[in-house]
Amino acid sequence: MKETQTRGREMKKSKPPREETIVGFVVPSEWDSEDNVVSISITTDDDDYVVEMNKLGEELFDFLDEDVEVTGTVREDKDGTKRIRVISYEVLEDAEDEYDDEDFSYDDEDDEEE
């Protein structure tokens, strides 16, 4: 038996990575000594996901402070930190931009009659 080859893997009792789609907000999570953003996370209503740096993950730096829908492989570190390796993403339009301003316009005529 070759126990030495599998011993390291069996001792970890972490959950296996799984593919998920999350919707959240891209935020900086780490800075270098010159205040440059070097790590980003996606903040959802329920959790924060540290973005792992692959080609698509790096592209998300261009969308700081934007809402995104990201599909990727999620894993959880022993300390509970969730990480996502991006497979695909879509930048979402602001909810406010989805509606015509006319739908929410204030009717000034009522004020003028008073």
Share of the chain above pLDDT 70, in %: 68
- pTM comes to 0.69
Strands 48-51, 82-91: pairing kind = parallel
Would you tell me which CATH number, out of the four given (3.30.2130.10, 3.40.630.30, 2.160.10.10, 2.40.50.140), belongs to the domain 20-94? 2.40.50.140
pLDDT at 58 over 60: yes
Domain boundaries of the chain, sorted by first residue: 20-94
Q: Is the pLDDT of residue 50 over 80?
A: yes
pLDDT at 109: 56
At residue 17 the predicted structure's pLDDT band, cuts being 50, 70 and 90, is confident
Tokens of 108: 């000034």
Tens-digit pLDDT profile for residues 70-97: 999 999 999 999 999 999 999 998 655 5
